[in-house]
Structure 1
Amino acid sequence: MRGRILVLLLFPAVFSSVDSFEPFTTTVVVTAGALLGRKIYNYFQETCNDDWLHFNATGLQVDLERKLFGQHIASRVVVKALTGFMNNKNPKKPLVLSLHGWTGTGKNFVSQLMANNIFRRGMESGFVHQFVATAHFPHASQINTYKAQLQEWVRGNVSICGRSMFIFDEMDKMHPGLIDSIKPFLDYYDNLDGVSYRQATFVFLSNAGGESITRVVLDFWKAGRDREEIQLKDLERAMSLEVFNNKNSGFWHTSLIDKNLIDFFVPFLPLEYRHVRMCALAEMEAQKMNLDEDMANEVAKDMIYSPKEERVFSVKGCKTIASKLEYYR
């Protein structure tokens, strides 16, 4: 409808004198006007096509290299997984990533970078859908209602755009059993009731698994080994088992893990002093402040570190950097 209105506004003369044209000429002029109107409509109105949706693998890699600190495993896994999936014209199932680690280590940030490099409007896109467990599913007594709603939300949005992205935050606070309601949409089906979910992306964010990740990183630190030596295989199994067996997690005994529907468990390592300092400098740059090395050091020193004896890892990661900078300004 909006496209037709634009055409009428752009071509009033054409439509006021359309009766004077021969039938063939009339068809050509009206069609040209409609096409132009549709192009203008698509320019301003987000649609599920290449005008608004185009994966930038190079952009994602550069963003991760320049803006994410201390996460060599997560960066590599996310770039490879997303690039392979987006370049596959006929994937067998949706891409399902589960990001795990302490707060402030970059899980939310990475999901935003993914969206920014797939959709022109990034997180503001109408095809990116974010659910926060404590906000959208607060009451355990309503779990059956939430299951039905969640299925309808996913089904309805994928029907509109097959490349939809769904981000589930605070999975460690989600009611056990709720996420299983979308298990059929993540499985190896060509379509369900005429809807194909194979090009959609599902991203789960959770603090669960952080303990097993920290143990491995601390062991490497105590042995004097570089954290960059840690590989995905050193973490993935222990992390997935911790999540699966955690009764207070939304992944507790979930069929998503039991049926191997999560493509990658992505570990986010706890951040050290040097990473917090880099976060402070990056935040200064983002706020267009003069880069102040002394201030970055002060901000990093002001964070709380654990374990108590070693004081190696920032308890809050980089989460409170912006507010700390305001204090030291």
Structure 2
Amino acid sequence: MGEQEDICDRLSGSQIEGEMEEQEEGDGKMQSAPLTFSHFSSSVRAMIRIKLKYQAIKRRRLEMMVGPGNGGMGLVQTGAASRTSPKIFTFDSLTPSTMSSPSYNSYQKKRKKIRRSRVMFPSGGDCRAPPKQEQSRAKNCLLLLLAIVFLQVYNAIENLDDHVLRYDLEGLEKTLRREVFSQQGAVEALLSHLKDYLSTYVHSKPLVLSLHGPSGVGKSHIGRLLAGHFRSVVGESLVLQYYVLHHCPLETEAWYCARALSTLVTEMVTRAEEDEKIPVFIFDEVEHMHGEILGTLRDLVISQHSNEYLNAVYLFLSNLGHGHITKHLLHNSSSGSITNSAVGCHNNLVKELSLILHNTLENIHPIWAEAELLPLILLEKSHVMECFMDEMSREGFYPDRTNIERLAGEMEYYPSVGGRKYARTGCKQVVAKVNML
């Protein structure tokens, strides 16, 4: 094969040299003659023709070398060495026969052996170290977070207990249950509001409570009990008991009274802020309070200028809406909510009366839109007798049952409804009658 290729190279080289000599002779002749455009175009055509002929000769030589079966050309002999060009290795050249060769199989076995190799331990003893279980740091952080939350909640509960103990609400509850008759629902609601409010020190608004009821049902008495209790726990300077007919009897002085009251409240809340305590303001006979004073109190209640105005308890005592309370009791005295003496029934009665009073009181003045209404119900004859017994014990009289019934029978009552007799004036005249004994 090598000799045949040399022969082909020599043949093609001689042919190309002959053609090139002819071309040079032609070019020499053309150079001897003057150059014209036709001469230039004929030379270009000759060069193209030479190039095409050279490519045709080269193509024919390649066909003779790699023809089908290397036969039919007479130049390629069987058994001659063929000229090969370097090849690039790829996996595509692997054939099934190549992959089944002994060398390839031994290579694959060696790779499997290396892949399956494992560390072996001595069989004489268990020298293998047990795997260590790594503890997650997130678990420790979670436990720490739970401990912090528990301490915070426990501290908050302790603080709530400290505030409640400071105001001795348990003692106040005992006093109200002992001294106030037939007002279980109102007393429960009053204590509930006080406990919720006094359990913390920081608030978003002051606590405003308004007690309403007919004459003699215990409004002023509750006010005096609250004033005495809070004076003993927070101090005299942080409790204000304001009687309208005493502090501001004339309507012409209402504007000056309103300014003086605003100044007094400001001083008390500032002093309470320094002592970290909550002041208590009790306003009795609010039905006689002038519009200027009510407007000043509403401005103080809804004031958002500073925090000290938000930490205060306002208690209003009046007989406004007593007609609605009396009418409701007399018309529904035979219903289960009134005949039953359970505390839950009294609470339901208080809720019903509160809804009735809201619209009436808000039309009188908008300050009652900011208040929690606590209605007090009429007293029955048995409650009046309890008032006589308590007052006679205070004055040192022997509580004779026959004498108490006689005194209670001298009081005025509404017509009996459902087997119940409600006193028109409650216990208001009890003190006067006992003093006449």
**Which TM class, normalised by the smaller chain length?**
0.7 to 0.9
- Residue 196 of structure 1: aligned partner: 308
2:249 counterpart of 1:130: no
User: Are 1:164 and 1:200, in contact at CA under 8 Å, matched by a contact in 2?
Assistant: yes
- Residue in structure 1 matching 2:426, options 301, 313, 317: 317
1:240 has 2:358 as partner: yes
Superposition deviation, residue 223 in structure 1:
4.0
- Structure number with the higher helix fraction is 2
Matches within 5 A, 1:242-321: 242-245=360-363, 252-254=364-366, 256-257=367-368, 260-262=369-371, 264-307=372-415, 312-321=421-430
Structure 2 counterpart of 1:205: 317
TM (norm. structure 2) is 0.55
In structure 2, runs of 5+ residues without a counterpart are 1-161
Looking at structure 2, the residues matched to 159 and 215 of structure 1 have their Cα atoms a distance apart, in angstroms, of 44
Listed as ranges, the gaps of 5+ residues in structure 1 are 1-49, 246-251
8 Å CA contact 1:306–1:312 kept in 2: the answer is: yes
Write the distance in 2 (CA, Å) between the matches of 1:149 and 1:140: 15
Shift of 1:227: 5.7
- Looking at structure 1, the residues matched to 415 and 323 of structure 2 have their Cα atoms a distance apart, in angstroms, of 12
Q: Does 1:60 align with 2:172?
A: yes
Give the Å deviation of 1:88: 1.7
- Cα 1:320–1:173, aligned 2, differ >3 Å: closer, same or farther? same
* Residues 28-177 of structure 1 mapped to structure 2, 5 A cutoff: 54-120=166-232, 125-162=236-273, 163-177=278-292
Deviations 1:159-182 (Å, cap 9, x if unpaired)?
222422111111111123421212
| 2:423 maps to amino acid | S
State the Cα distance separating 1:217 from its structure 2 match: 1.6
Residues 109/131 of structure 1: CA separation in 2 closer, same or farther (3 Å cut): same
Residue identity in the other structure for 1:253: H
Match of 1:249 in 2: none
Matched, 1:218 2:330: yes
SS in 2 for 1:131: strand
Task: Return 221-230 or 79-88, whichever deviates more.
Answer: 221-230
Distance 1:303 1:70 in 2: 17
| Aligned equivalents of 1:121, 1:82: Cα separation in 2 | 14
Query: What is the deviation of 1:221?
Result: 1.4
Indicate conservation of the 8 Å contact 2:238/2:280, yes or no: yes
State whether residues 209 and 240 of structure 1, in contact with CA within 8 Å, keep that contact through their aligned partners in structure 2. no
**1:308–1:133 CA distance, 2 compared to 1 (3 A):** farther
Higher relative contact order (CA 8 A, sep 6+): 1
TM-score by length of 1: 0.72
Instruction: State the secondary structure of the residue aligned to 1:120.
Output: helix
Q: What is the one-letter code of the residue matched to 1:313?
A: Y
Paired residue total = 263
For residues 128-185 of structure 1, what are the alpha-carbon distances to aligned partners after superposition, in whole Å with 9 as ceiling and x for unaligned? 2122222222222333222222211111222222422111111111123421212232
Query: What root-mean-square deviation, in Å, do the aligned CA atoms of Structure 1 and Structure 2 show?
Result: 2.6
8 A Cα contact 2:216 2:425, kept in partner: yes
Give the AA of the match of 2:197: F
Question: Does the 8 Å CA contact 1:134/1:170 hold for their aligned counterparts?
Answer: yes
Cα distance in structure 1, aligned partners of 2:426 and 2:381 = 9
Which residue type is aligned with residue 324 of structure 1? K
> Which whole-Å CA distance do the structure 1 matches of 2:431 and 2:253 have between them?
36
Deviations 1:210-249 (A, max 9, x none): 111112221221447416434222110211222233xxxx
Segment of structure 1 superposing worse, 226-235 or 62-71: 226-235
Q: Which amino acid aligns with 1:244?
A: E
SS of the residue corresponding to residue 221 of structure 1 reads coil
- C-alpha distance in structure 2 between counterparts of 1:275 and 1:202, whole Å: 28
